[in-house]
Amino acid sequence: MTATVLVLVETINDYLPILEHQGFHLILAPTPAERAQAIASHGARIDAVLTRGPLGLYAEEIAALPALQIICVIGAGYEHVDLQAASDRGITVTNGAGVNASSVADHAMALLLSLVRDIPRADAAVRRGEWPKIMRPSLAGKRLGILGLGAVGMAIAKRAGNGFDMSVSYHNRQHRSDVPYSYCSTPTELARASDFLIVATPGGVGTQHLINRQVLDALGPNGFLVNIARASVVVTADLISALEQRRIGGAALDVFDHEPKVPDALKALTNVILTPHVAGLSPEATQGTVELVGQNLVAFFAGRPVLTPITLPISVVTRTV
């Protein structure tokens, strides 16, 4: 039997032959309209879905896919995949945690450097024929706070500490005894101990709105925020207010609440750098994530354990037995 995979991800076409060479039949549906049409037309024969966190897979879509057995999520986040619906159907869910950590960490540091050194404004000035002497802080010796010390957070910490001589603090769900970095018990405490704060935690209910007005005020008027995680971790209205009132120095954002829509208020600010959710995109990371999807699919359909399973909530059926 050849398993049919519905591919909802829009950025991996060059690497899909990896899955085709493993014998999988692919249905590509990268736009909302194509997605709805594919589910309506081919739902009865779709065995697997390949998606990413912001694209997700919703309960009503899972219900419309009676043959669905496994959902593979590219990247670490799976916030819009209905895990309860998957659990109730006995559907396996996997992710790609850690595969794109280097790419995301590189982008985080690039954003931080561009923000703190004000590279976009300097570039724009030179293009206008101006030659301003913009005085900006150095990164060396500064205090970096990382919210979420997983694979991405660790990669950022190593770059900051080893490459820029920065001291690193972090806030995590749990204190880690295996790292040399300082632990802060709350996001507010972390912001207060930081010159620069990078958000690297997964999205979802557990991390929603961890960064709010209180945290931003603790970061202060000379502090900078970088978010390469999920927009849901930050209260956007509080961030815009802090930026407009210069209660923080600036922000660099790769993620937004309603992508690809970006609030006009953010676009109008001069102390913000915006990129279109591309931190995890690199040839190396994309190839690695697709290869991991292939390994998970091959293992699953061969009856072996998948490599990167997501722990699912207890199914409604199990709870009622």
Give residues with Cβ within 8 angstroms of 191, minimum separation 6: 145, 197, 215, 216, 218, 219, 223
| Token duo for residue 77 | 């986040």
State the pTM of this model: 0.92
DSSP state of 160: I
Residue 107 is among the residues annotated as catalytic for this protein = no
Which sequence spans correspond to the domains of the chain?
4-99+283-320, 101-274
With 0-12 CB in 10 A as exposed, 13-18 as middle and 19+ as buried, what is 267? exposed
Q: Largest alpha-carbon pair distance within the chain?
A: 74
Bridge partners of residue 183, in order along the sequence: 170
Q: Output the pLDDT for position 319.
A: 56
pLDDT tens, N- to C-terminus, the chain (321 residues): 589 999 999 989 999 999 999 999 999 999 999 999 999 999 999 999 999 998 999 999 999 999 999 999 998 889 899 999 999 999 999 999 889 999 999 999 999 999 999 999 999 999 999 999 989 999 999 999 999 999 999 999 999 999 999 999 999 999 999 999 999 999 999 999 999 999 999 888 889 999 999 999 999 999 999 999 999 999 999 999 999 999 999 999 999 999 999 999 999 999 999 999 999 999 999 999 999 999 999 999 999 999 999 999 998 765 554
Which top CATH class is 4-99+283-320?
A: alpha beta
Instruction: Spot the catalytic one: 35, 107, 143, 230.
Output: 230
Residue 79 is among the residues annotated as catalytic for this protein = no
Give the C-alpha separation, 226 to 57, whole Å.
28
Q: Please check whether the two domains, 4-99+283-320 and 101-274, share a CATH topology.
A: yes
Instruction: Spot the catalytic one: 60, 244, 259, 284.
Output: 259
Residue 230 is among the residues annotated as catalytic for this protein = yes
Please say whether the beta carbons of 232 and 53 come within 8 A. no
Instruction: Spot the catalytic one: 277, 284, 291, 319.
Output: 277
Angle at 113 between CA 134 and CA 150, to 5 degrees: 160
Bridge partners of residue 251, in order along the sequence: 225, 272
Bridge partners of residue 261, in order along the sequence: 258
Give the C-alpha separation, 312 to 86, whole Å.
8
Please say whether the beta carbons of 59 and 80 come within 8 A. no
Give the C-alpha separation, 20 to 3, whole Å.
10
Please say whether the structural domain 101-274 has been given the CATH code 3.40.50.720. Answer: yes
Angle at 268 between CA 267 and CA 273, to 5 degrees: 50
